[in-house]
Amino acid sequence: MKLFLTLFFAQVLFTFNLFADTFTLKGKVTGSETFNYAYVFNNSYKLLDKAKIVDGSYSFNGEIDYKQRFGQIPYAIILLEKNPLSTVELENLNLLSRRDHDICRVLMEKNINLLYNTDQKTFSLSGGELNEVQNLFENALANFRNKRDSIYLAIDKTDLPKKEDKKSLETQRLYTQTMYGFINIIKKHPDSRAAVFNFPSVIYNNGISGMEVLDAFSLFSPSIVNSEFGQYVFKDVKDKIRSEELMAKPAYIVGMKMPAFSLKNERDNLLKGEFQPAKYTLIDFWATWCGPCRKETPNIIKAFTAYHREGFNVMTISIDDEKDKSKWIEALKTDHMDKFTNLFNGGDLSGLGRELKIVSIPTNYLVDGDGIIVATNLRGDMLLKKLQELIPIHTSSTKEEQMAKPNYIDTNEK
């Protein structure tokens, strides 16, 4: 009996170990820059280990955790540093997402080789079938970053106005080109789990339409399409197409009356969506996590300063999740939105956001005193120009307000 139990537990241990693979990652740093530390994080940005880089080399060993959500491939994030990271930096989950260079995602295989060239700022991955394909995607991203940095340097040397806006446009253009490059990689590797692992970046790119994304997804082999992770990302493909269809056919357009609504403000008071006695009110949908939204706020403040005395009000409506309500209140102070009427919708799938079918932000509606929509999605100088058309300039306005008012001249007029 004792011998039987011994053999039984030995068999159980052997069977368990079949599913408990280990990995070995050997890293090498070459080039003129010196890095002294390497950190490895899991896909939840949790620190797994760190190593001292000696003579340009470092290594990691550990177990591969195959229990991933939605059937995703287990992966790790390698971060190279010149100086050791502090505890605060390690606990900051945004640390990795903010990094441009010196960071690489590796797919977990038994043997992984990772070479980083500091002069070219590129990683080279090898050691297994998955990382051979992953290397193509990592190189594409490295090329994007290097081209972007070159363009930034060129823009900084010019006398162009609004340099940051120009940089943003060029970044979007380059990144969209990179995502089309991702699609070309998928064409060559339709059976690769590494290819579908990188596919969400294609889905979320605004420069590629939903139907183009669907066409790209159809390039994958049936085994990839029908896999757990394949079906997971396919849901996002369908959501993108649905969102674009809703945007093409908005629920409320110019000439329609804004629906009645009641939402709470930052003091938790319930306010009704009433627009009298204002002549015009801008209803602006935004969220604290939306960079373009917050970048637009100074333009709205400028319009408010110029035309508030003439009867123009601003009502902002946040679609932040309920759990982020405190972040919303803090952002109102940080972005100087205290003179607006600020309301909280609590997500985009409920309340007014759902009725208006808000599928992207920033989105805004300019309504008159009766709640009739007179314009939509006015951004930048478009808002000021529209207000100049609608509201006569009052001669008793303050100097600050007069300076905020635009002076549009049609250069085509003789």
CA–CA dist 231, 214 (Å, integer): 13
Q: Out of 8-17, 120-129, 207-216, which region has the weakest mean confidence (pLDDT)?
A: 8-17
CA–CA dist 352, 395 (Å, integer): 38
**Residue linked to tokens 């333009």:** 299
Residue 200 confidence (pLDDT)? 94
Cβ contacts of 203 within 8 Å, gap of 6 or more:
213, 233, 236, 237, 240
**Residue linked to tokens 């952002």:** 331
Token pair of 402 as six digits: 């007069």
Residue 2 confidence (pLDDT)? 41
Q: What is the pTM of this model?
A: 0.63
Mean pLDDT for all residues in the chain:
84
Domain spans of the chain? 20-127, 130-249, 262-404
Report whether the peptide linkage leading into residue 277 is cis, meaning its omega lies within 30 degrees of zero. yes
CATH number of 262-404: 3.40.30.10
Dihedral pair phi/psi, residue 346, rounded to 5°:
75, 60
CA–CA dist 135, 199 (Å, integer): 14
CATH fit for domain 20-127, picks 3.10.180.10, 2.40.37.10, 3.90.1150.10, 2.60.40.10: 2.60.40.10
If you write DSSP's letter for every residue of 45-105 in order, what string do you get? S-EEEEEE-BTTEEEEEEE-----GGGPPPEEEEEEESSPPPHHHHH-TTHHHH--SSEEE
Residue 20 confidence (pLDDT)? 56
* 24: helix, strand or coil: strand
Of 27, 28, 24, 128, the C-alpha closest to 73 is 128
Of 141, 14, 139, 133, the C-alpha closest to 75 is 133
Q: Out of 137-146, 177-186, 221-230, 405-414, which region has the weakest mean confidence (pLDDT)?
A: 405-414
**Residue linked to tokens 């990144």:** 175
Token pair of 287 as six digits: 């969220």
Please report, rounded to a whole number, the percentage of residues in the chain having pLDDT higher than 90: 49
Rounded to an integer, what is the distance from CA 115 to the centroid of its chain?
Answer: 28
State the pLDDT confidence band at 16, using cuts at 50, 70 and 90. very low
Residue 375 confidence (pLDDT)? 92
Q: In angstroms, what CA-CA distances link 310 with 165, 306, 349, 378, 391?
A: 30, 8, 35, 19, 7
* 200: helix, strand or coil: helix
CA–CA dist 398, 404 (Å, integer): 10
Q: Which residue has the higher pLDDT, 278 or 27?
A: 27
